Amino acid sequence: MSDHPSTYEGTPEDTAGVNWADRAALHRKNEGDGVLDGATALRRGTFADMIRHMMLLPESERSDYVIEKAGDREYSATEVASLSQHSNFPRNN
């Protein structure tokens, strides 16, 4: 499954599925991207792992972080909370 835009009209290739196994990293929000972006990750793992981790944080702190998924797509705390409730989200490791 692929949830990144295709080159055809920039639309997602498969809107029904999310690749929970894609690599991802937890970053502080607004830390700035750039050459050293890869070195500033606080935690790395699968997309599902990063969602689980972010959901363990106190709700008041979640908005301080984003998840950067393979392909340079960043997910906000609001998006992460929504994804954690997705019908096929792998709740266990």
The pLDDT tens digits for 8-34 are 555 555 545 789 999 999 999 886 654
Task: Answer yes or no: pTM beyond 0.85.
Answer: no
Distance of alpha carbon 48 from alpha carbon 36, whole angstroms? 24
Both structure tokens of 6? 């295709």
Residues 47-72 have a mean pLDDT of 93
| Residue linked to tokens 């700035």 | 32
Contact 53, 66 (CB under 8 A): no
Measured CA to CA, the distance from residue 88 to residue 2 in angstroms comes to 15
Please report, as a single letter, which amino acid is at residue 92.
Answer: N
